[in-house]
Amino acid sequence: MKEKPDTLEQAVLTEYKYGFVTDIDTDVIAKGLNENTIRLISSKKNEPEWLLDWRLKAYNHWLKLEEPKWANIKYPIINYQDIIYYAAPKPKKQLNSLDEADPELLATFEKLGISLNEQKRLTGVAVDVVMDSVSIATSFKEQLSEIGVIFCSISEAVQLHPELVKQYLGSIVPMTDNYFAALNSAVFTDGSFCYIPKGVRCPMELSTYFRINTENAGQFERTLIIAEDESYVSYLEGCTAPMRDENQLHAAVVELVAHTKAEIKYSTVQNWYPGDKNGMGGIYNFVTKRGICKGDHSKISWTQVETGSAITWKYPSVILKGDYSIGEFYSVAFTNNHQQADTGTKMTHLGKNTRSRIVSKGISAGHSQNSYRGLVRASKQATNARNYSQCDSLLLGDKCGAHTFPYIEVKNKTAIVEHEATTSKIGEDQLFYCKQRGIDAETAVALIVNGFAKEVMNQLPMEFAVEAQKLLAISMEGSVG
Amino acid sequence: MLSVKNIHANIDGREILKGINLDIKPGEVHAIMGPNGSGKSTLASVLAGREEYEVTEGAVSFLGKDLLELSTEDRAREGLFLAFQYPVEIPGVSTTNFIKAAVNEKRKYLGQEPLDAVAFLKMMKEKMALVEIDQRLLSRSINEGFSGGEKKRNEVFQMAMLEPKLAIMDETDSGLDIDALRIVANGINKLRSPDRAILLITHYQRLLDYIHPDFVHVLYNGRIVKSGKKELALELEEKGYDFITDDIDLTANQ
């Protein structure tokens, strides 16, 4: 029987809907990390020599680094030798159409609500799916290639477009950037690659779906999006994982390049397994995402809805190099139970008349901790740089925490930087008011949270906005029927 | 419609209601008056189902159902409405969205289809005119930054939208200037109907100049100590609560 939640505490109890495991034959290498692991990954992917060298360089740099400790998160020491660095559903042969894909796999994605069928065309979304370490399938490749858009897995891009990969890989997030970026550079297995040629407005949403399936496997994907002059692309990624008692590591790197007058809109709906209500299990999500507005009048916009992961460490950033370029960051981070999120952005203004806008909405429930951390930097040359930041926190109950760490560095006198922050709380009084109007606790909390997050949700592509809203509601549901 | 029998209720172990009896029939307007601390707002909270209050004795039946067995939201969906003395602010949720959710939750409970946007807007327009409320107010976050008068008017507007069987108005007149009081009272009067009962909870008689009750009860120290017709309210206004309460205290001390 479905028990109705009555108090705020019950109303925000989570049950994770995507926690199933797909029973599929998987090619898994032994746990542990050393040069041989990297050579093995590289040879399995049939990579060119330069990429192996690049990986090894990254690995050797990583060995010299220490895990960052500055974030407002606590977790046990990660044993990097206890992780599987490559796991791929078998058999890994080239698929010509989805009909050839393993039915079990297709069923999995149906279950996750991602239809890979050609029907998807009607909704105008091209999908790439990555299970554990490899890309399973990419839809609409042909239609896209007719207009010169390349949308494929990064492994494929390495084989088919090595000059592009070589030119841009690590150019925005260098392998030496940080601990997790170095690790990713050494062991990344797959991810998406998008190239939008000059003057092309990509006619459909490009979307990648990431799924961790194998036990003890880490996922280290790498995404690279290049938008040439006067092009436009909207890209969306979604993520889920099975429920497991152990923590699993996810350390991705995403790089975006927007040339003159190009625009990239990057949306994330992150719903990795957050752990159970006692804080057992869940994904450690340590992600480096950065874009560069390289050309004048270019624009990069990050939108993220973060509801999953035991730990989130993530700061999608924009380097505003071109004059008149625009960077945006819209974020909803929802934490429940024992989840911890330390997320925000970096806006680095280098060009003249550059503008950035940050809207961050943190929602904390249960015993969770939710931090916004953001850096706005205006360099000496950034004449007339403008930033507006708004960070709002909503507390559900009195055992959770919300924190804001804004950093501002301005070296140009003409720059204008504004920061606004608010904190509010859903209390039993508000709940009683709603209930007296016939709105039960669950619906009331959803109503309040959706109202709070609306400004960010509105930034998502329409189809995903609906899904994201449902996701927020599910994350807060006392029981999933 | 509503039958309250010997209700005793505690908060934090302290007994506030000490045996309340009250019968209300459809179409009637009852006023409960009393000095501060007599238990007026507690009675409203207990009927609406506020969890902090514990009912230790007695029974309440509402439209033939055991009210105390129903959850707070089901009481509301059955047609019990409480206009709050201090309406609660909910940032980020517009009054329109809030009421839409409330109306449709009630319809769902009653097995009806949710109202579509057109029907809902039409209903809003009608009810807005009834209580003289500005559309701009309804698109703002509910009660956030509203003046005292706007909050109370918003309560009456919600009452109009939810079409309750029994409306409990908890000190709806408090904090209102004379113009706001007139508008709010007019709204309530327009909502009087033969199948709707209204329970007015008030400290002052002045609300009753605008809304004429059928019955007046005096609540004192957790009990209804005197009931009468509307003339009782005038008598209270003239002589103060002392003329009743002194008597009671005297008897209690003997």
User: What is the DSSP secondary structure assignment for residue A228, as one 8-state letter?
Assistant: -
Task: Kindly list the distances between the CA atom of residue B254 and the CA atoms of A155, A341, B248, B250, in Å, as whole numbers in the listed order.
Answer: 95, 67, 10, 6
- Output the pLDDT for position A1: 36
Q: Which of B46, B73, B96 to mutate to test the interface with A (most CBs of A within 10 A)?
A: B73
Q: Which of B53, B71, B86, B98 to mutate to test the interface with A (most CBs of A within 10 A)?
A: B98
Residues 48-107 of B with CB under 8 A from A: 48-51, 71-73, 75-77, 81-82, 84, 87-94, 97-99, 101-102, 105-106
The answer to whether the Cβ–Cβ distance between A440 and B97 falls below 8 Å is: no
The answer to whether the Cβ–Cβ distance between A424 and B97 falls below 8 Å is: no
Q: Which residue of chain B has the CA closest to A447? A: B93
| Residue A2 contacts B, CB cutoff 8 Å | no
Element (H, E) at A460: none
Residues 138-197 of B with CB under 8 A from A: 141, 158, 162
The answer to whether the Cβ–Cβ distance between B71 and A452 falls below 8 Å is: no
Residue pairs between chains A and B whose CB atoms are closer than 8 Å: 77
Please tell me the distance in Å from B159's CA to the nearest CA on chain A: 9
Please tell me the distance in Å from B71's CA to the nearest CA on chain A: 9
The answer to whether the Cβ–Cβ distance between B48 and A436 falls below 8 Å is: yes
Q: What angle do CA A385, A389, A391 make, to 5 degrees?
A: 170
Task: Kindly list the distances between the CA atom of residue A361 and the CA atoms of A307, B33, B99, B112, in Å, as whole numbers in the listed order.
Answer: 12, 46, 24, 36
Tens-digit pLDDT profile for residues A223-253: 999 999 999 999 888 766 666 666 778 889 9
Give the pair of three-digit tokens for residue A316. 């999608």
- Output the pLDDT for position B204: 82
The Cα–Cα gap between A409 and A379 comes to 8
Tens-digit pLDDT profile for residues A159-203: 999 999 999 999 999 999 999 999 999 999 888 899 999 999 998
Task: Kindly list the distances between the CA atom of residue A39 and the CA atoms of A58, A191, A253, B81, in Å, as whole numbers in the listed order.
Answer: 13, 19, 20, 71
The Cα–Cα gap between B17 and A445 comes to 32
Q: What is the dihedral of CA B1, B5, B9, B15, to 10 degrees?
A: 140
Residue among A238, A258, A231, A248 nearest A192 (CA): A238
Residue type present at position A193: F
Question: Using CB atoms, which residue from A436, A443, A454 is nearest to B76?
Answer: A436
The Cα–Cα gap between A340 and A474 comes to 18
The Cα–Cα gap between A347 and A355 comes to 9
Q: Who contacts A161 (Cβ-Cβ below 8 Å, separation ≥6)? A: A150, A193, A195
> What is the average pLDDT score of chain A?
83
Task: Kindly list the distances between the CA atom of residue A299 and the CA atoms of A148, A225, A229, in Å, as whole numbers in the listed order.
Answer: 21, 13, 11
Task: pLDDT band for A136, please (50, 70, 90 cuts).
Answer: low
Max avg pLDDT among A109-113, A211-215, A247-251, A329-333: A329-333
Task: pLDDT band for A11, please (50, 70, 90 cuts).
Answer: low
Q: Which of A9, A395, A436 to mutate to test the interface with B (most CBs of B within 10 A)?
A: A436
- Output the pLDDT for position A212: 64
Question: Using CB atoms, which residue from A4, A429, A438 is nearest to B109?
Answer: A438
Burial call A254-283: b when 16+ CB within 10 Å, e when fewer: bbbbbbbbbbbbbbbbbbbbbbbeebebbb
The separation between the first and the last C-alpha atoms of chain B, rounded to the nearest angstrom, is: 38
Q: Provide, for chain A, the percentages of residues in helix, strand and coil under a 3-state DSSP scheme, each rounded to the nearest 5.
A: 25, 35, 40
Max avg pLDDT among A280-284, A351-355, A453-457, B11-15: A351-355
- Output the pLDDT for position B73: 96
* Residue pair B83/B168 in contact by the 8 Å Cβ criterion: yes
Q: Is the pLDDT of residue B6 over 80?
A: yes
Please tell me the distance in Å from B209's CA to the nearest CA on chain A: 28
* Residue pair A464/A269 in contact by the 8 Å Cβ criterion: yes
The answer to whether the Cβ–Cβ distance between B76 and A432 falls below 8 Å is: no
Tens-digit pLDDT profile for residues A27-66: 777 788 899 899 988 988 889 999 999 999 999 999 999 9
Please tell me the distance in Å from B31's CA to the nearest CA on chain A: 21
Q: Is the pLDDT of residue B67 over 60?
A: yes
Question: Using CB atoms, which residue from B50, B97, B105 is nearest to A438?
Answer: B105
Enumerate the residues of chain B whose CB falls inside 8 A of the CB of residue A430. 88-90
What is the percent of chain B with per-residue pLDDT over 70, rounded to a whole number? 98
| Residue A423 contacts B, CB cutoff 8 Å | no
Residues 389-408 of A with CB under 8 A from B: none
This complex has an ipTM of 0.95
* Residue pair B91/A393 in contact by the 8 Å Cβ criterion: no
Q: Which residue of chain B has the CA closest to A446? A: B93
Q: What is the dihedral of CA A164, A166, A167, A168, to 10 degrees?
A: 90
- Between strands A247-250 and A263-270, the pairing is unpaired
- Biggest CA–CA distance in chain B, Å, is 65
What is the percent of chain A with per-residue pLDDT over 70, rounded to a whole number? 77
- Between strands A282-293 and A253-258, the pairing is parallel
Across-strand partners of A391? Answer: A360, A421
Residue type present at position A440: D
* Residue pair A136/A189 in contact by the 8 Å Cβ criterion: no
